[in-house]
Amino acid sequence: MNLQKGALIALLLFFSTATIYAQGTSLEKRPSSAIQLSATNDIYTTIDKMADEIDAKVIQWRRQMHEFPELSNREFKTGEMVAKHLESLGIEVTRNFAKTGVKGVLKGGKPGPVVALRADMDALPVTERVDIPFASKVKAVYNGVETGVMHACGHDTHVAMLMGAAEILAAVKNDLKGTVVFMFQPAEEGAPPGEEGGAKLMVKEGILNNPKVDAAFGIHISSREEVGKINYKVAGVMAAADRFVINVKGKQSHGSMPWGGIDPITVSAQIIQGLNNIISRQTELTKEAAVISVGMIQGGVRNNIIPESCKMIGTIRTLDVEMQKIIHDKIRLTATSIAESAGATAEVEIVPYAPVVYNNLELSRKMIPSVERVAGAENVKITKAVTGAEDFAFFANEVPSMFLFLGGMEKGMSPIDAPPHHTPDFYIDESGLKLGVRTYANLAVDYLK
């Protein structure tokens, strides 16, 4: 008998933390000399003017990447396009960073701190269904299966927006009080099996050193938030993702005489119920959301044989480091104790994928006024946490960081009708890109100020 089950109950409770930005001062209220202010205002004007001028070019870059997307750790053409562009701007470039990534260093005309801006570059094994002239033309073999390749998470927009911001920042570099590091990252969606990759490898290879980065910013486009809007949340904003494997071992017997053996399938069913109880009965859900989902269960080959073993795999999502540890401990305790009560054994393996994306409190307090100035305060709102994961977390673990969500949905559309990320109908309204370019550039300028 082959048991295949989809994900079981996932309990999600969303919770917005208290606002901290409410007491943030507006930029105008900040103390600064008249000369500094006017110099800064000149930069802001230049950023906006250039963002208008290069908008068509940014959209063109995006379309080129969209038509010819590349899978994780295979972003060869994308990386080369980025590297050539940065070089043309006089930015110091390191190619093949963390396999196909690109590091760019732009030294400002004045001394100061170092700020990093990140864009991820990889596409997904999804066959595009959107009817646009620049729809993906690429196919690939993924996990042994031929599939289309599509920028179904919008990373093409991230690359294009950051290339645009680099062009603007290079133009105003004499006025920059510090250094900007551009992190064009491969393999956010996960490196192919057996390979290292992504933000974790970038950190390992020293992207945050030479020069030593003081703060990092990332932006993710959203297909379900209106163009012109920016969402953020302080503290845990995207979940830690950990994979678990539970192997239950019983004793094989004839299906007609279960008392002669130890049934690992029944034990597994009890364990699944136990896992659900961890979230619904033992987790302080008013603190942060948490999810445990079993995505696969497999055991046995035939109707009248109780098998020797049964295996489950699943995912754990948490938004708080302490809760993450507690939930991991409870999973081990629950699985092994339930198995023991039946005379079976359970082996539990928990494999980390990405930590919590943590928006630094101080940095958020300092920078949200900039975001509000750029987007208009009425367009910036605090969002609830997301139980999806992002490997930007590896940067946020090392340096104070802030990760924002940028609207990419056509104005007036309902989010319910907007196709989600990672699906064949995923669509981004390109009129939202200019705000992303401006946001990247302004965050760098204001952080260094």
With CA atoms as reference, report the closest residue to 429 among 416, 441, 412, 442. 412
As measured in angstroms, the least distance from the Cβ of 188 to Zn ion is 6
Nearer to Zn ion, 43 or 239 (CB): 239
Q: How far is CA 62 from CA 106, 111, 198, 430, in A?
A: 23, 33, 21, 9
As measured in angstroms, the least distance from the Cβ of 352 to Zn ion is 18
Nearer to Zn ion, 153 or 289 (CB): 153
Q: How far is CA 290 from CA 12, 15, 194, 384, in A?
A: 6, 11, 29, 13
With CA atoms as reference, report the closest residue to 278 among 8, 14, 16. 8
Nearer to Zn ion, 122 or 242 (CB): 122
As measured in angstroms, the least distance from the Cβ of 120 to Zn ion is 6
As measured in angstroms, the least distance from the Cβ of 153 to Zn ion is 3
Token pair for 255:
């299906």
Nearer to Zn ion, 54 or 153 (CB): 153
Cα–Cα distance measured from residue 129 to residue 428, given in angstroms and rounded to the nearest whole number? 13
CA atoms in the 13 A half-sphere facing the CB of 347: 7
As measured in angstroms, the least distance from the Cβ of 221 to Zn ion is 8
Nearer to Zn ion, 73 or 270 (CB): 73
Q: List all residues 6 or more positions away from 319 whose beta carbon is below 8 Å from its beta carbon.
A: 235, 236, 237, 238, 239, 240, 288, 289, 290, 356, 385, 387
Nearer to Zn ion, 99 or 158 (CB): 158
Contacting residues toward Zn ion, per CB under 5 A: 153
Find the residue with minimal CB distance to Zn ion.
153
As measured in angstroms, the least distance from the Cβ of 82 to Zn ion is 17
As measured in angstroms, the least distance from the Cβ of 408 to Zn ion is 12
Token pair for 404:
């924002």
Cα–Cα distance measured from residue 408 to residue 386, given in angstroms and rounded to the nearest whole number? 17
Neighbours of 110 (CB within 10 A): 12
Nearer to Zn ion, 91 or 126 (CB): 126
As measured in angstroms, the least distance from the Cβ of 155 to Zn ion is 6
118: helix, coil or strand?
strand
* HEC assignment per residue over 277-318: HHHHHHCCCCCCCEEEEEEEEECCCCCCEECCEEEEEEEEEE
As measured in angstroms, the least distance from the Cβ of 123 to Zn ion is 10
With CA atoms as reference, report the closest residue to 291 among 2, 37, 11. 11
Q: What is the DSSP letter of 144?
A: T
Give residue for tokens 């007491």: 23
As measured in angstroms, the least distance from the Cβ of 388 to Zn ion is 8
As measured in angstroms, the least distance from the Cβ of 185 to Zn ion is 11
Cα–Cα distance measured from residue 120 to residue 114, given in angstroms and rounded to the nearest whole number? 20
Decide: 73 and 97 in contact? Cβ < 8 Å: no
Tell me which amino acid residue 233 is: K
Tell me which amino acid residue 47 is: I
Nearer to Zn ion, 153 or 402 (CB): 153
Nearer to Zn ion, 153 or 169 (CB): 153
* HEC assignment per residue over 380-413: EEECCCECCCCCCHHHHCCCCEEEEEEEEECCCC
As measured in angstroms, the least distance from the Cβ of 20 to Zn ion is 26
Mark out the alpha helices in 186-228 (DSSP H runs). 198-204
Nearer to Zn ion, 87 or 425 (CB): 425
Nearer to Zn ion, 178 or 186 (CB): 186
Nearer to Zn ion, 120 or 214 (CB): 120
The torsion angles phi and psi of 301, rounded to 5 degrees, stand at -135, -10
